[in-house]
Amino acid sequence: MPRTSAARIVIIGAGQAAAQAVASLRAEGFDGALTVVGDEPFAPYQRPPLSKTYLAGTFERERLFLKPDAFYAEAKCELVLGTPARAIDRAKKTIALADGRSLAYDKLLIATGSRVRRIQVPGADLPGIHYLRAIADVDSLRPAFQSAKHLAVVGGGYIGLEVAAVARKYGLAVTVFEAMDRVMARAVSRPVSAFYEAVHRAAGVEFQMNTGVEAFEGSGKLEAVRAGGKLYPADVALVGIGVVPVCELAIAAGLECQDGIRVDPFCATSDPDIFAAGDCTRHHGRDGQLIRLESVQNAIDQAKHAALAMLGRPVPYREVPWFWSDQYDLKLQIAGLAGPSDKIVLRGDPKARKFAVFHLREGRVAAVEAVKAAPEYIVGRKLIAEGAIVAADRLADLTVPMKNII
């Protein structure tokens, strides 16, 4: 695309990927008109603190925002907030907004993120049942924590467990209901699941494993959760059972979608003038498998690659995925993507609350999960990027410093 002031780029969605795309487009020399359309009433903000320090009340709201207001003014980026985009007209290259306006684009970036999966059981609409995705969700959950006595967490994934840890700090009794036989089963190995379950139990959290919630009960407000045929008292519930990509606009516009907007390594959709980045996308990962990532890393890196591609300088997206979770005083850092038949190598002792699990595939490091183990995480990430072959016994040997393993 020629760099002329006539060129117009519109970004739908004002989240993590959008903020990065604005920064990258301007840093890469785009000097045309730039507009970000967001349905929330806020400029782009970071979500990770929502289930951690912001919920705990130790992280100020202003710090959630990814960029100061002055950044958008200096970048000459128009923010259209509190205004959902309703439709994309690919023939006319326009976006219809909920307020009746129409925006023209030369290139479009869809960065609509994901939304929470809602639980479909009787009583699911009772007051007292919460989800956690946005600032508004925390603003209603935090007061509930101040008055409630018993929290039911539905789903033992990252969000549910992070909220459980914060709730214990508020002094709430907490019961986690998990349909699988271990926590965070989608994302971590068995040793890491077992470690986190033990940590939460030691902090007073109760678990009902292999137990799906059947109903929420109460007259006018939540009073109990029915699960496994039994009733458990609860006056507040947090449902964390995953997210679904927001791709209705893309589907309606006829873009190729399959549990996410399909993008190529340059973040282009099936329309060469439309790109997508972040939680709403599905792409081929480093191993060639189709994946959908829900992480800050993916949103930032895809936004960078989408910006380059929109400016006619495409570079393929090959970054190693990474993720983190904070529960109590424990930082879990994960790099790479584990596979079901990886050889698992434990380095360190979970009882010391500081260890790492490496995943070896055909001798190469495919993923690392590190608990309070920054060197293992940092070196592990490098080993994954390099496709390094490493002997399992050296990885497991704490007398071999991580820096010597490379």
Ligand X SMILES: Cc1cc2nc3c(=O)[nH]c(=O)nc-3n(C[C@H](O)[C@H](O)[C@H](O)COP(=O)(O)OP(=O)(O)OC[C@H]3O[C@@H](n4cnc5c(N)ncnc54)[C@H](O)[C@@H]3O)c2cc1C
Cite the beta strand spans of 351-390 per DSSP E.
354-361, 364-371
Task: Identify which of 233, 229, 51 has the alpha carbon closest to the alpha carbon of residue 151.
Answer: 233
Sheet holding 150-154, edge to edge: 129-130, 236-239, 150-154, 173-177, 206-208
294 binds ligand X (CB under 6 A): yes
37 binds ligand X (CB under 6 A): yes
Tokens, residue 96? 């219809």
17 binds ligand X (CB under 6 A): yes
Candidate residues 47, 262, 292, 347; the one interacting with ligand X per rule CB under 6 A = 47
80 binds ligand X (CB under 6 A): no
Which residues, other chains included, contact 403 with Cβ-Cβ below 8 Å and sequence gap of 6+?
375, 379
| Residues of this chain, 130-169, that bind ligand X according to CB under 6 A | 132-133, 159
39 binds ligand X (CB under 6 A): yes
Tell me the window of 14-22, 166-174, 176-184, 356-364 that interacts with ligand X (CB under 6 A): 14-22
Distance CA 39, CA 253 (A): 19
The pattern of x and - marking residues 242 through 281 that bind ligand X according to CB under 6 A reads: ----x--x----------------------------xxx-
Q: Tell me, by CB under 6 A, how many residues bind ligand X.
A: 36
Residue 282 in contact with residue 294, Cβ under 8 Å? no
Candidate residues 24, 93, 113, 250; the one interacting with ligand X per rule CB under 6 A = 113
Q: Judged by CB, which is closer to ligand X: 114, or 211? A: 114
296 binds ligand X (CB under 6 A): yes
| Residues of this chain, 361-380, that bind ligand X according to CB under 6 A | none
Residue 12 in contact with residue 95, Cβ under 8 Å? yes
Q: Report, in Å, the least distance between residue 202 CB and ligand X.
A: 22
Q: Judged by CB, which is closer to ligand X: 111, or 164? A: 111
Q: How many helices (H) and strands (E) in the chain?
A: 10, 26
Q: Judged by CB, which is closer to ligand X: 211, or 269? A: 269
332 binds ligand X (CB under 6 A): no
Candidate residues 7, 152, 247, 299; the one interacting with ligand X per rule CB under 6 A = 299
Helices (H), 223-295: 248-252
Task: Identify which of 328, 295, 343 has the alpha carbon closest to the alpha carbon of residue 187.
Answer: 295
Tokens, residue 214? 């059947």
Backbone angles phi, psi at 12, to 5 degrees: -100, 125
Candidate residues 10, 11, 16, 208; the one interacting with ligand X per rule CB under 6 A = 16
Distance CA 236, CA 94 (A): 43
Tokens, residue 31? 């000097």
Candidate residues 53, 94, 270, 295; the one interacting with ligand X per rule CB under 6 A = 295
Angle subtended at Cα 344 by Cα 338 and Cα 346, rounded to the nearest 5 degrees = 120
Candidate residues 40, 178, 301, 342; the one interacting with ligand X per rule CB under 6 A = 40
Interface ranges with ligand X (CB under 6 A): 12-18, 37-40, 47-48, 50-51, 84-85, 111-113, 132-133, 159, 246, 249, 278-280, 294-297, 299, 323-325
